[in-house]
Amino acid sequence: MWIIKPATIREMARDNPQVEMALVRWLRIAKTARWKHLAEVRTAFRAADEVKVAGGRSVVVFNIGGNKYRLIAAIHYNTGKLYVLDFMSHREYSLDRWKESL
């Protein structure tokens, strides 16, 4: 996948050292992937889920760091582009407020 702004992941890793290795691993796997649909994403990340947001589109939610964090991404399978949209703790994610801003 072509990761749009991979520096964002590196910043997240720097700001959250407890999950740095998990984020670096996620980035390494995502960069080499050629996903065409969610089932292929799940071969690398079993717990990845598609979630519909307020704007009507679907995003993919990745569990990071032993289910303690969530990375939200928009995957454009047809172009091979992946946009990292947000990163948050499980607690923040469970409030569902993030769905309104996407």
The architecture that CATH gives domain 2-101 is 2-Layer Sandwich (3.30)
> pTM for the complete prediction?
0.91
Mind spelling out the 3-state secondary structure of the chain?
Answer: CEEECHHHHHHHHHHCHHHHHHHHHHHHHHHHCCCCCHHHHHHHCCCCEEEECCCCCEEEEEEECCCCEEEEEEEECCCCEEEEEEEEEHHHHHCCCHHHHC
Q: What does the pLDDT look like over 24-73, one tens digit per residue?
A: 999 999 999 999 999 999 999 999 999 999 989 999 999 999 889 999 99
Residue boundaries of the structural domains of the chain: 2-101
